[in-house]
Every structure is written in C-alpha cells, then in structure tokens.
Amino acid sequence: GIMDQFAIILSEKNKVMMLDCRDRTYQFFPAAIPGTKWVLINTKVKHQLIDSDYNQRARECKLSVDNLKFAFYEVKSLRDVTLDMLSNSGLPELHKQRCRFVIEENQRVKEMVNALSKKDAVPAGELLKASHHGLQYLYEVSCEELDHLADIANSTEGVFGGRMMGGGFGGCVICLVQEDAMDAFLKKAISSYEQTFGFKPEVIEFELSDGVSMVSP
C-alpha cells in the first residue's frame, strides 16, 4: 500500500493524517486531547503468521469484492459496500466477518476524526476498544499477547481505550490514557504481562513529528 510512504514523507508535527487511498487525498487533524497522553506498549513478540495469514485476509476480502460486484454494479472495493449489502450477499460467513470488519473500521476512521476534532477522549477510547474487538474476533489478526494488553487497557480506570497496531500477530498496542493515571496503568500492565508471559513488554513514549526533510551535511 501507500500508507507508510505518505506518512514518512508528508506527516505534520502533532497531527494525524486521514488518507484516502483511492484518490490519494489527505487531511490532517490534531492528535492531542487535553489531559490525556498516547502511549505504545510493545509485546516484543512477532509471530511468523503475519505474512501468510495477513495475505490470506487480503485474498478473502478481494474474493468477496469480486463476488459482490456481480450483485452490486457500484462496488469497486469494500469501501463501497454497506452492511445491508453484505447481509444479503450470500457470501460465506467467514468472508462476511472479514468484510464487516473493514466496513465498520472505515466508519470508525470517520468517527475518530470527529472525536479528535472535538478533543473528546471518551468516544475516541470507545472507538479504540471497538476496533480491537473487530481485529480480534472478525479479522482475526491479533494474538494472545496483544489481547492481554488490550484487555488491561480497556478495563482499567483512567484508560479511555486501546487497540493493536500494525499488521497483527504481535507488535504494539496503542492506548489513550488520562495523564494522571499513566504511571499506575503502566505499572499494572507491565506486572500483569510479565506474570503471564515471563518477560516485560516495552513502553514506548512517542511524539508525532514532521515527515522527512533535507538535512544539511
């Protein structure tokens, strides 16, 4: 895809990008919500499933789109499919699950833009929770370690929500946390993770920066 390349080159400090991969238009929105902080927690695991299983998800979605095109002429990709179309599609249940996640996740992107624009942490957190639930149960690209951290985030007072990042089967969880609850949350998450898996996760505090630029020698 083009997402990584766009982010590396065009990112703006302290903002998130909403990228339309169909026409390559993009918009920026402030990521900060007063009284909160974003934090990454790295599971420090990478399962070997990512290449084969993630590619399989892509194939399942492409096959679904190919079938949906016969019934709905306006469909070019899953972004054109509604949940009503999907329910009446006759697709296998597994393929419906994959498509449902993508359709709902596209809508969550729009809702997240609205939450960030209003600087409202509560709906932003609920969207993170719903997103991880879909990644775990519908798209099935999560793993035990990611789910453990997301479950802690999504059940801890002072944490608005958390979801896995990236391609899945390992990697990081991103969390939106109330500033004064951060230390207690991280202590709880690290302790629980170490007790469960036998090693500590990595906490990554980060800032959103501009994209790459020319540097004088």
CA dihedral 4, 8, 10, 16 (to 10 degrees): 70
Task: State the residue for tokens 């990584």.
Answer: 4
Q: For residue 181, what is the DSSP state?
A: G
Q: Do residues 21 and 1 make contact, with C-beta atoms less than 8 angstroms apart?
A: yes
Q: Is 4 a catalytic residue?
A: yes
Q: Which of 4, 66, 183, 210 is catalytic?
A: 4
Question: How many CB atoms within 10 Å of residue 61?
Answer: 18
Q: What is the DSSP string of 165-216?
A: -TTSSEEEEEEEEEGGGHHHHHHHHHHHHHHHHSS--EEE------------
Rounded to whole angstroms, how far apart are CA atoms 30 and 76?
31
Rounded to whole angstroms, how far apart are CA atoms 182 and 80?
40
Closest CA to 189 of 176, 201, 177: 201
Catalytic residue numbers read 4
